Structure 1
Amino acid sequence: MRGQFCDGPQTRIEITKKTNDHIPSWWNGTKTARDKYGHLQYGSWGYKVPWEKYRRRGDGCNGGTLVDSGTATLPTKETGWRYWETSS
Structure 2
Amino acid sequence: MYGYKAKHIGKGPIYKDGPGGTMVITKTTAESAASSVTGTAGVTVDYAVAQAKAEISVGSEKSVSWGTDHQYRRNVTSGKYGNTQYGSWGHTATWEKYYQLPDCRKSQRTSGGVQVVNKSIGFRYWETSN
Runs of 4+ in 1 over 2 A off after TM superposition: none
Equivalent residue, structure 2, for 1:41: 85
Alignment of 1:4-83 (within 5 A): 15-25=1-11, 27-28=12-13, 30-32=14-16, 37-57=81-101, 59-60=102-103, 62-83=104-125
The unaligned stretches of length 5 or more in structure 1 are 1-14
- Higher Cα Rg, which structure: 1
Alpha-carbon shift at residue 17 of structure 1 (Å): 2.5
User: 1:23 and 1:53 mapped to 2: Cα distance?
Assistant: 25
User: What TM-score, normalized by structure 2, do the two folds share?
Assistant: 0.48
Q: What's the CA shift string for 1:18-63, capped at 9, x where partnerless?
A: 11000012x22x5116x86210100011000111111113x14x31
1-structure distance, mates of 2:83, 2:2: 32
Partner AA of 1:86 in structure 2: T
**Alpha-carbon distance in 1 for matches of 2:128, 2:10:** 18
Q: How far, CA to CA, are the matches of 2:81 and 2:126 in structure 1?
A: 8
Distance 2:98 2:10 in 1: 31
- Cα RMSD, aligned residues only: 2.1
Q: Which has the higher helix share?
A: 2
Separation of aligned partners in 2, 1:63 and 1:18: 25
